[in-house]
Structure 1
């Protein structure tokens, strides 16, 4: 009897299993026929016995949008159930599901991944830190987890960056310590701590910042700011006061050196000796000793065996040729190149500023531009950075300031590295006569040394014209404008030229004339433009050429006739005036009398009684009587000054006096004027010099 009951129980169990399996199978059949009501009913009936495939089927129904049961949360719930319940049954059932239903764990996981992909798309549309965090928690299996984490961290960083407070940034770092923006966030946090503590120009706030955040890397900037504030006057007194009041500041050494350089700014023995007596506690006595020894010595770079060294004015070697390049001495220092890097030496050949720069310029006004890691900075004569090497471009110092370009734009800095004013420009140029041309996204303008706008326009371009006027250049006209933005009445033209000798070309309706620096018409607009007339019709020596018909004439600055329209070409006004009526050139006097007949292929202006002429592709020099001073044998002649000419013959250069005497023979590959009267002579990779003012002799290494 017991055995019969046991057999009956087994048969009943098998029947029920078969029945449930049948329900799941029928559920999948109904699902294939889109009979969602029947499929849902059958799957729900099978959840207790066939949880994994039944939950899978329900999840599919809830995921699809072509039925009234569509619900993403329910689809998510049953997808989780299908995967989690799969492992709770025996392997034989897995095989049965595969055989009867084509269902397995891989299929369940693929479906679950599909749901997480939809969840990710929804999260991306929401695009919030909270949403991405919720997705990460809700879908830990998703292949999109890394993307979600990246987007969450990115958005969180952007929010913290936008708020830009130390609280927001530190909170971000605490919540997301392993994200890719940690370094940027930490830098912003350092800056926020700095900005929230200090007040520009108030030394005590920088001291407070240093005490509060001693490990913040901007402590160095605070120390620098203290130094710059306390020494902003750039005077001996301000540097000495800083040294006494902030003895632990790392810029004390720099302050001493600047105090020293200011005290000996004339770089004379007298100044050095006077400084030594006045400041016995100066911590760099070696600088004084070196300067006293070298200050009056003049040295010149030379080349030997492709290496640069220095010699004195007698050609004696003073610094052995060991550098790949060397520049001239300025402020007691010369730039040198070794192993593709630049540094600076003193006149004793000692390296005063380490050879470490990718580029280095000569010193000027005690400052030099250098390059490190592709970025530019400025150093002083002691090698300290006035501007750190973090700029894309830096201009030379003009009128005590320079422009520097960083990724955020152009700014102006003074000799001490202080911002001249707190403005950023899209473009900037050097100062000239107290003004600089700048450009923003909305303005073209000129500013003064304090950063105030002198004159600005919102459309077109602006150009300096004279002390009181600017040119506003628009698409189809150019007008004269005052600094206050008001226009000079009736002073708009098609084009306005550059002022030269108080005259500027103006063109309107196909005619041109001239105005003066006040915008007044000095010569009426009645002249016909000719090719390149904006270049060739500029006043020079108070006279200008113009075209009348097919001929050229010359007038003075008041429009008075000097030469009639008889010539096919006229050169610059001088003691005699170059003219041509055909293929050859000659010279006329101011009374239109031919003084030197037409005989040259080209004739240049007379200057100080001499003129360069060309014939048969050779050049020479003549005097006012057409007497040959330089024979017509030179390939080129260039007037260097009133006394000297640079000539080229047989491919080599030389220097000749105005009397035609060879001062430097034509044996050099190049001759370059370095300073007034000092020439660099290059021949066969060797360098020598000619001083036309001091000793009038060639300086060559012996």
Structure 2
């Protein structure tokens, strides 16, 4: 019990220090290894805190795995033992994991809930290859719950507080030793498994099916099983089962529409009783039935048929569920009810269920994209209200996306969510500017109420289209162009002949604000600071000030020099854009100080030099006065007195502030304090400081 409590305490210590300060983890781990592992003739064994040997030294390696559990390696195979040396998982697997989050599909249950059900198991892998993955499941007390024949949890569903998995199984790997309920499971391609009371059990459906799948029907637990080209339905609660006579199915309003041949004309109720529809139902998408009427198609919803029919009607690709897309209630339903159609000439348009034509049928293809999906990484969340106000939350792209092999396209258009054409590249502009690099699959695009741009992810060109004038107003075959997250635009261009980066910043009106040519070794410093700020430099009468990307002056041009500093503090090693804090080092009449993000003076202009010292903890500055150096925080707290002859710098490897060329530490983290937020001055009577959310303050003693 002493061993158990001691190990539990230090395991928790590792977890906490791993979250808060990674630099403490290695020392704690080394201490634990010395405390509980021993080595003899190059092999390792387990001992307790009193040095009593719990296993022979037979393992090639031992390491920590989970609370009270250790992972052991033997002949390049892995297993698990517990804190008493008992074998939990035999050392015969290629890999072991404590959780499983990779599911082929999940149905009616969220990912976090799935992971929660499986968090107390050990997953033992005989093959880790993504396409040939194979594993078994052990409990943490050493019971084999599922032999290593699982290739994938295909689907999962929770029904009446019981979790059901559809498991894709592979044959047992050669060399596996172990039993499962006294015998080996029959291997099948798909298997229905019930998970209850931390146990897996097979269900009565016990034949080798090519496919199994849950039906998305509320308050029913129904499967579709398939063998060869036909399948049937199975009620897991009543064990009622249909013949295997259907080629496929669709579900609408909890009704099953099944197809024996071409059409989904067989409607099944909850007892699988068939009713034959008089209409030929070719497909069901987004709640609409597509009816085949000889040579034409017609739509039907809630037993109401559209008044029109055409040779072809198709659903529009909307991509509404992309990422964390915020749906717009005003346009969402209407745009969802738009359909691609063409009368007889093979050209697509858009029409709604009432027969109103939204886009005339004159395009080779047409799709609707939420802006977030279409422009990808160039999407600016801070402009969401502007996008919606200007009807840009959806972009309708006639002609489809650009692909170099589709040479039939010779123009490009974008229509907004009101049906207004906002971008049009005619044949000449299309051939001039639309290339695979600056417009293809791996390019980046952006749009505002005034401009649309498309740019290479590399340095091979871009163009900017003015929506109001309908003209290309900026273009190049060099560099890349993008929206900034805090307003405006940035152009990056690299001249390899002279090894120089040119960074140009534009306002939201696309007026050039600032340009800087930077040697390659200094370029990334510019990217870390200026690129993310809300303002940029402007010059007047040989003085410098700050202007924002709406071209509003936010700081008068009265300084000799300004340096923008963007500090990112770490919140338990999770970095977020919201953690960004901007400050400004300003120089006037030979003296330097610091302004905060509101342009208020926080360090007075009394120093000969101030230099930002990048570190992941708090905003720290080297200050120089009368040829002496000290350390000051952003909130003007003196962390190290201004008495040193050498510059102070942050040692990234040792995570402390040292003196250059003297091998002396002046300010460091106090590792003896449990919360690890305490720092102290080494040579100034050990004055103590605490930091939180990037701000450090003196602790009064």
Q: TM-score range by the shorter chain?
A: 0.3 to 0.5
Which structure features the higher share of helix residues? 1
Which structure has the highest strand share of the two? 2
TM superposition score normalised by structure 1: 0.39
Larger radius of gyration: 1
